[in-house]
Structure 1
Amino acid sequence: MKLGFDNDKYIKIQSQNILKRTKLFDKLYLEIGGKLFDDTHASRVLPGFQADVKVKMFQKLKEDIEVVFCISANDIERNKVRAEYGITYDTEVIRLIGNLQKMGFSINSVVITLYKNQPTVDTFIAKLKRYKIKTYIHRYTKGYPTDIDTIVSEEGYGANPYIETKKKIILVTAPGPASGKLATCLSQLYHEHQRGVNAGYAKFETMPVWNLPLKHPLNMAYEAATADLGDVSMLDYFHLEEYGEKAVSYNRDLEVFPVLKTILNRIVGKDVYKSPTDMGVNMIGECIKDDKVVQEASKKEIVRRYYNEMCNYKLGIAEYEVPERVKKLMNELKIDEYYLDVVRPALKKARRIDKHVISLKLPSGNIITGRETDLLSPASSLILNAIKELSNIPDNINLLSPTVLKPMLELIPRTEERDETLGLEEVLIALSISSVTNPSVEEALSSMKKLAGSDAHATYIVSNGDLKMLKRLKINLTCQPVFYSNKIYTLSK
């Protein structure tokens, strides 16, 4: 894989820029835009960017850091799911806390934002208490966003409990967007200044990249990733007016900035920032070493987002305008849904054999497929074929004998929610057991890590166990917006 991003340079200059900002204040509340862990979007659009690079960078500063998590009560109530792993936001918070604690970070607390006495939220709070994790409740801020006098008063931010913090840098993070991070930071700034502490605010996010062109595919990929939120990359007109310099921001930051600037002025007593761009500490742009590689990766990501949103629409969890937004971005870049190499082979084979198929592009560039059989799901067939290819095992040799698979299929109880084939997880368990006595299987299993980052395309909406396992293998899966029961395949081109 060609690399377009210098990960080591990023760790160095990004940490330097954050430390430079901390010197302006006694205490810095740093809002983490995007993901602190597992930034798989950034790793896909910036080949060379390690998904956990941000947390590794912060590890160098961890003696001066404590972490505050925010989660919206609304997201808890509706069981909002993090798409990459298929787990709910509340579960994700607990997972992230555990990971950070193992790395030696100091976890301060979890803030429940927009709390309205929801029973499901109370259950989550009780769960956090059992884990001995301190929790704070923030309700809707009175007067927000227009009545500044009320917002910056005991009735507004003053109504929120003060979060006791001790260290120089407070990372304010969340399992996803719209979790109340900014409001939590501003509430804390109000309380800190009431106590005579010179506390400041800054924002650390990877996308959009402020010093790249507005219509750079990397910034357009950010729009595709946030199409459900309606985010649009825009020129920072505040920055242009103040400095005569073009910079890229996005609609939500630009819309809220006049209010944010006024609130900060009222709290701190001066204009700290002149533009949304000023608030950021992002150094992504300086670490791109091959722009062509990044542009190509970003275009592919936009197509992946299109398929994802089309499937969400088919499943009834997104309005049609969401994939339409992504389609407009594709049209601007003059690419279509067949831009990924794996799409046509899957559709063509499915049409030819009238069975579900998943195709995958190997590191060598070869494209292989897996189809549903009497015993195996398409995902199971695909991974078996892939690891055989990677291990140079002849096609006519079975890694798992049908005599092993059939009893497994008979043993596993069937329900209406389960397919009548062995899923990928079951097949991998069987392979693991077999590898103890079969060196060929052991070699094939060890090659599976080479599939990370590979593109795959399914002729149906992959769900449940197979989807989770493919994600664990870090395969970039796209799906046709077709349910598993649909046996009709068409190829329009």
Structure 2
Amino acid sequence: MRQGFDNDKYIALQAEHIRSRINQFGGKLYLEFGGKLFDDYHASRVLPGFEPDSKFRMLKTMVDEVEIIIAINANHIEKSKTRGDLGITYDEEVLRLLDVFRSRGFATSGVVITHFENQPSAVAFRSRLDGLGIKSYLHYPIAGYPYDTARIVSDEGYGKNEFVETTHPLVVVTAPGPGSGKMATCLSQLYHEHKHGNLAGYAKYETFPIWNLPLKHPVNIAYEAATVDLDDANCIDPFHLEAYGKTTVNYNRDVEIFPVLKTMMERIAGESPYQSPTDMGVNMAGLAIVDDDAVREAAKMEIVRRYFQAAVDARRTGIHEERVERLELLMNQAGIDSSFSPARSVALLKEETTGGPAGAMVLADGRVVTGKTSPLLGAASSLLMNALKAVSGVDDDIYVISDDVIKPICTLKTSTLHSKNPRLHSDETLLALSVSSATDPLAQQLLDHVDDLRGCDAFFSVILSATDERLYRTLGINVCCEPKYEQRRYYHK
């Protein structure tokens, strides 16, 4: 894929800038860490060259200076809030994060349970943490939050929260998802540090929107597309413009809360080091873009993906049609429409000519391959096989998996497992290919090139089954579907 982002430059710039911010505050910084640490696939899609674990790798260069606090909202525990991309609840995600941090050599301070009001599930989770030997701390709701700053910055506000003892110069506060209370945790810690007479500061690390790109740059529009469910909107930072005469980009929630945040910091430390929400940020991503055209094209593709994702969700659930309309407006702002991906027109044409569901995939070299529904293979399976043949140099007319391998699986599905659909899903096809590789070198050749499909874009003329979509995403293939079902019925598995 065409690269537009220098990942090594980014890691070096980012670590240097964070160390500078630590020194600014006398050797201690609480860093609110937004976004995903290990698997930021949105950033890797809109900034080709950005590795999904770039932020984590950057922290790894500072591992001896870093200590980590994980915040989780007690209400999210109570409601069993789930991280959609992983399919696990927020409390399970906390344990997963702790395992990853510990295995990579990072010091962890413990877990802060925010908004704690004796919610039964939160109490049970704290007991579970205790049983695992993990320290936990309670933070409580504050009446009048966030506008009653006199109460918040007092012994009745942040003063009631349990203080987390830390020993490292950089304390990263992260969470399983948004709304977990990261900022409040940082400010509560800051309040207690100053009560103890310790110098400490606060900063925020969010990759998007990128403050030094234009407001309507496709990368920043793609961020709005990714957060359409949160009603986030990018805007010019008016405080930065007034203080410095420079135009920078931030987003509405940070701009709206900044006067309150500034007042809190003045009450905590006597003065605020920041004149704008842009001042609070430490993100250097914009300075590592090396090919703006490549980044623009990648971001436009992401906006289209978000549109089809929302359209399919609306078709499945019957709600949130307003998100689809909002994404249509964002596509207009970026100067594109739903046909921006060449895979879509090819997939729809394939369906028209074959009379059944079809798919198309754009390979890394720009070639577009197709797949159609057959008696033995679904469109997703057929496309996967044809794409693997293309990237491994195997002629498309060669049958790598023989019918003798496929038919017993189809029979098992219908006769024993009582499935009405005999065709192989893409995961079953990949298993059949793996079995064939024991005796067929061509099958092994295809398997050797599976990773070559990572980052490619696939489009299907109908909504995929959850099984096929999950397999494609596991392989790192970006998937979009026309928002329609293969069959006209009320219930779809």
Q: TM-score with structure 2 length normalisation?
A: 0.93
After TM superposition, give the deviation of residue 43 of structure 1 in Å: 0.8
Q: Equivalents in 1 of 2:63, 2:210: separation in Å? A: 26
Kept in 2, the 8 Å contact 1:309–1:318? The answer is: no
Counterpart of 2:224 in structure 1: which amino acid? E
After TM superposition, give the deviation of residue 137 of structure 1 in Å: 3.2
Q: Equivalents in 1 of 2:269, 2:465: separation in Å? A: 50
Q: Which residue of structure 2 lines up, in the alignment, with residue 242 of structure 1? A: 243
Kept in 2, the 8 Å contact 1:17–1:281? The answer is: yes
Q: Which residue of structure 2 lines up, in the alignment, with residue 16 of structure 1? A: 16
Kept in 1, the 8 Å contact 2:68–2:108? The answer is: yes
Q: Which residue of structure 2 lines up, in the alignment, with residue 286 of structure 1? A: 287
Kept in 1, the 8 Å contact 2:74–2:122? The answer is: yes
Written as runs of structure 1 = structure 2, the 5 A alignment for 1:160-239 is 160-239=161-240
Greater mean alpha carbon deviation, residues 318-327 or residues 26-35: 318-327
Q: Equivalents in 2 of 1:136, 1:478: separation in Å? A: 42
Q: Which runs of 5+ in 1 are unaligned?
A: 488-493
After TM superposition, give the deviation of residue 273 of structure 1 in Å: 0.8
Change (3 A) 1:69 1:373: farther
Q: Which residue of structure 1 lines up, in the alignment, with residue 61 of structure 2? A: 60
1:322 aligned to 2:323? yes
1:114 aligned to 2:115? yes
Q: Which residue of structure 2 lines up, in the alignment, with residue 371 of structure 1? A: 372
Counterpart of 2:433 in structure 1: which amino acid? L
Deviations 1:38-69 (A, max 9, x none): 11111111111111111111101011111112
Written as runs of structure 1 = structure 2, the 5 A alignment for 1:63-78 is 63-78=64-79
Q: Which residue of structure 2 lines up, in the alignment, with residue 143 of structure 1? A: 144
Change (3 A) 1:280 1:454: same
Q: Equivalents in 1 of 2:124, 2:369: separation in Å? A: 47
Q: Which residue of structure 2 lines up, in the alignment, with residue 307 of structure 1? A: 308
Q: Equivalents in 2 of 1:358, 1:93: separation in Å? A: 37
Q: Which residue of structure 2 lines up, in the alignment, with residue 263 of structure 1? A: 264
Change (3 A) 1:464 1:76: farther
Identity of aligned residues (%): 48
| SS class of match (1:376) | coil
Change (3 A) 1:483 1:113: farther
| SS class of match (1:68) | strand
Q: Which runs of 5+ in 2 are unaligned?
A: none
Counterpart of 1:280 in structure 2: which amino acid? G
Kept in 2, the 8 Å contact 1:44–1:297? The answer is: yes
After TM superposition, give the deviation of residue 306 of structure 1 in Å: 0.8
Q: Which residue of structure 2 lines up, in the alignment, with residue 382 of structure 1? A: 383
| SS class of match (1:297) | helix
After TM superposition, give the deviation of residue 476 of structure 1 in Å: 1.0
Q: TM-score with structure 1 length normalisation?
A: 0.93
Q: Which residue of structure 2 lines up, in the alignment, with residue 483 of structure 1? A: 485
After TM superposition, give the deviation of residue 79 of structure 1 in Å: 4.1
Equivalent pairs, count: 486
Kept in 2, the 8 Å contact 1:111–1:137? The answer is: yes
After TM superposition, give the deviation of residue 170 of structure 1 in Å: 0.9
Counterpart of 1:459 in structure 2: which amino acid? S
Q: Which residue of structure 2 lines up, in the alignment, with residue 491 of structure 1? A: none
Kept in 1, the 8 Å contact 2:459–2:480? The answer is: yes
Counterpart of 1:401 in structure 2: which amino acid? S
Q: Equivalents in 2 of 1:109, 1:422: separation in Å? A: 46
Q: Equivalents in 1 of 2:78, 2:37: separation in Å? A: 23
Counterpart of 1:421 in structure 2: which amino acid? R
Kept in 2, the 8 Å contact 1:84–1:471? The answer is: no
Q: Which residue of structure 1 lines up, in the alignment, with residue 476 of structure 2? A: 474
Counterpart of 1:399 in structure 2: which amino acid? V
Q: Equivalents in 2 of 1:437, 1:94: separation in Å? A: 42
Q: Equivalents in 2 of 1:114, 1:35: separation in Å? A: 22
Written as runs of structure 1 = structure 2, the 5 A alignment for 1:42-61 is 42-61=43-62
Change (3 A) 1:78 1:469: farther
Kept in 2, the 8 Å contact 1:143–1:156? The answer is: no
| SS class of match (1:277) | helix
Q: Which residue of structure 2 lines up, in the alignment, with residue 431 of structure 1? A: 433
Change (3 A) 1:106 1:483: farther
Q: Equivalents in 1 of 2:329, 2:342: separation in Å? A: 21
| SS class of match (1:203) | strand
Counterpart of 1:224 in structure 2: which amino acid? A
